[in-house]
């Protein structure tokens, strides 16, 4: 691997300390200091190289004892199915169509009955309770996409 930029070096470093651990926790300032870069460069590296598409989940906390946690996740085998479903949802979706998708998830055994029921409650018109139909359908789409995205990994 040829490291052209310091970002590449930092990426390689983080991956090396990840090693066999499923997750690591770093202090942003410490890493930045170690490579003599500004702290926000760490955010850049994480944003461009440790996102879900690349199989990583990142969480962080500010304040005293703050940290950035990087976790490697396994993307599922049927990731394609989920990505297709997500692509099909688009910007807005009706309650009926959402229910169809949830039903598909259940039939494909991607979710349990109970998970499906909870999702149905979540996307219900009454729950979202938006001012107009358009807002409601957009919100429902965001919610559904977020849920499907979460299903993409274990």
Partner DNA sequence: CCTTTCTTGACTAATTTTGACCTTAATCAT
Partner DNA sequence: ATGATTAAGGTCAAAATTAGTCAAGAAAGG
As a three-state string, the secondary structure of the chain is CCCCCHHHHHHHHHHHHHCCCCEEEECHHHHHHHCCCCCHHHHHHHHHHCCHHHCEEEEEECCCCCEEEEEECCECCCHHHHHHHHHHHCCCCCHHHHHHHHHHHHHCCCCCHHHHHHHHHHHCHHHHCCCCHHHHHHHHHHHHHHHHHHHCEC
**Selected range binding a second copy among 28-36, 87-95, 100-108, 139-147, rule: CB under 8 A:** 139-147
Burial 115-152 (b: 16+ CB within 10 A, else e): ebeebbeebeeeebeeeeeeebbbbbbebbbebbeebb
97 binds, options a second copy, DNA, none, Cβ within 5 to 8 A by partner type: none
44 binds, options DNA, a second copy, none, Cβ within 5 to 8 A by partner type: DNA
Minimum CB distance to a second copy, residue 85 (Å): 15
49 touches a second copy by CB under 8 A: no
Nearer to DNA, 58 or 81 (CB): 58
Nearer to DNA, 42 or 89 (CB): 42
33 binds, options DNA, a second copy, none, Cβ within 5 to 8 A by partner type: none
Residue from 1, 38, 87, 131 in contact with DNA (CB under 7 A): 38
147 touches a second copy by CB under 8 A: yes
Write out the binding residues for DNA, residues 66-85 only, by CB under 7 A. 66-68
29 binds, options DNA, a second copy, none, Cβ within 5 to 8 A by partner type: DNA
Write out the binding residues for a second copy, residues 25-44 only, by CB under 8 A. 25
């Amino acid at each position: 691997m040829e490291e052209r930029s310091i970002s590449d070096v930092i990426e390689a470093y983080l991956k090396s300390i990840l090693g066999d651990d499923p997750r690591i926790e770093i202090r942003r300032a410490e890493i930045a200091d170690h490579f003599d870069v500004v702290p926000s460069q760490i955010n850049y590296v994480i944003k461009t190289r440790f996102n879900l598409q690349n199989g990583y989940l990142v969480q962080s906390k500010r304040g005293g004892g703050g940290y950035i946690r990087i976790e490697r996740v396994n993307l599922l085998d049927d990731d394609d199915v989920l990505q297709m479903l997500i692509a099909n949802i688009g910007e807005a979706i009706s309650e009926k169509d959402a229910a169809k998708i949830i039903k598909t998830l259940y039939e494909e055994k991607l979710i349990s009955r109970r998970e499906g029921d909870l999702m149905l409650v979540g996307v219900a018109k009454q729950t979202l309770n938006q001012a107009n139909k358009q807002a409601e359908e957009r919100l429902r789409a965001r919610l559904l996409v977020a849920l499907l995205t979460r299903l993409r990994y274990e």
